[in-house]
Amino acid sequence: MGHGKLRKFAENETFSCLLQPSAEDVLADGYFNLADHPVKGRWIEQMFGGHEGPIVLELGCGKGEYTLELARRNPDKNYIGVDIKGARLWRGAKTATEEGLRNVAFLRTRIEFITAFFGPEEVSEIWLTFSDPQLRASENKRLSSAMFLERYRTFLKPGGRIHLKTDSRFLFEYTRAVATVNGLPILAETTDLYSDGQGHGAALPVEVREVQTFYETMFLEMGLPITYLEFCPDHDGPYLNPRDPEDFDSAYWRTAEGPRRSFNHQ
């Protein structure tokens, strides 16, 4: 490991806005019986100094630039960026510390473990920004799959929102199919965020266009369209994955994805 990463990992230990739980503790009772972390249900008092306000998650936040900018624009809300890469989170946590942003926190963990950290109705919104579409892997690895929606609903408030912003048409269409087969309200959508006017459905939140991730700016420079989908995951009964190819033709959309996925931004 390079000296740069070692320095960042050491500095990560000093950031009060960065929580780095032990995976061994979370898995003490096994993968299917995750141990609750002490912060579960107590984020406001333990990580935000009692700053009341809705909690918004960005899952797979990378360096945290999206989390940070949303927090700057919306001081009445509390934002948590989640990622497994400590060297990436260092940048976000350092910036939040330097700017004195009290409504920002970061959590270093695998998203599969997310239920160990948030209590019932503790979270109001989730952002999935440029997640890996897992083109060849099991759909259960996609962050908008039925399996992950089951996890999210353990801590999302009724009427909570999930925002998907991605360069992957494959992941956009897959997520849209998940929402459709489960009867989930699609609140807003567009297959070309920057040339589609207001999109379809409700007016798009201003920050959807005005706030961009590092990779998003790269994709735009490459001429790639950015898609956006906002839906409410409220649902009775188990979530279903879309049938292939009746509900979602994975072979077609995998082919339609083209060469863009050759750029590995994960």
pLDDT tens-place string over residues 19-57: 999 999 999 999 999 999 999 999 999 999 999 999 999
Taking each helix axis from N to C end, the angle separating 86-99 and 65-73, rounded to the nearest 10 degrees, works out to 30
| CA angle, residues 68, 94, 121, in degrees to nearest 5 | 45
Burial group, residue 258, by CB count within 10 angstroms (0-12, 13-18, 19+):
exposed
Q: Return the sign of the alpha-carbon dihedral for residues 87, 93, 95, 98.
A: negative
pLDDT at 200: 66
DSSP assigned state of 171: H
Between 26-35, 207-216, 242-251, 254-263, the lowest mean confidence (pLDDT) is in 254-263
Per-residue pLDDT, averaged over 72-100, amounts to 98
Q: Which domains does the chain have, with CATH numbers?
A: 8-116 (3.40.50.150), 120-260 (3.40.50.150)
- Residue 230 pairs in a beta bridge with 163, 188
pLDDT at 264: 43
Clarify whether 249 is annotated catalytic. Answer: no
DSSP assigned state of 153: T
- Residue 222 pairs in a beta bridge with none
Which two tokens mark 96?
Answer: 């939040």
Position 266 pLDDT exceeds 60? no
83 and 62 Cβ atoms separated by less than 8 Å: yes
Position 160 pLDDT exceeds 70? yes
pLDDT in tens, 64-75: 999 999 999 999
pLDDT at 202: 62
pLDDT in tens, 162-220: 999 999 999 999 999 999 999 999 999 999 999 865 566 667 888 999 999 988 999 99
pTM, two decimals, is: 0.94
Q: Residue 261 — pLDDT band, cuts 50, 70, 90?
A: very low
- The amino acid present at 150, given as its one-letter code, is E
Categorise residue 203: left if φ over 0, alpha if ψ from -120 to 50, beta otherwise.
Answer: beta
Of 29, 76, 132, 247, the catalytic one is 132
| Residues with Cβ within 8 Å of residue 105, at least 6 apart in sequence | 17, 18, 19, 43, 47, 48, 78, 79, 80, 81, 96
Tracing tokens 């934002």 back to the chain, one arrives at: 79
pLDDT in tens, 102-158: 999 999 999 999 999 999 999 999 999 999 999 999 999 999 999 999 999 999 999
The secondary structure of 81-117 as a DSSP string is: EEES-HHHHHHHHHHHHHHT-TTEEEEES-GGGGGGT
For residue 27, how many C-alpha atoms fall within 13 Å in the half-sphere facing its CB? Answer: 8
Locate all alpha helices (DSSP H) within the chain, ordered by sequence: 3-12, 23-26, 43-47, 65-73, 86-99, 146-152, 169-181, 206-210, 214-221, 250-257
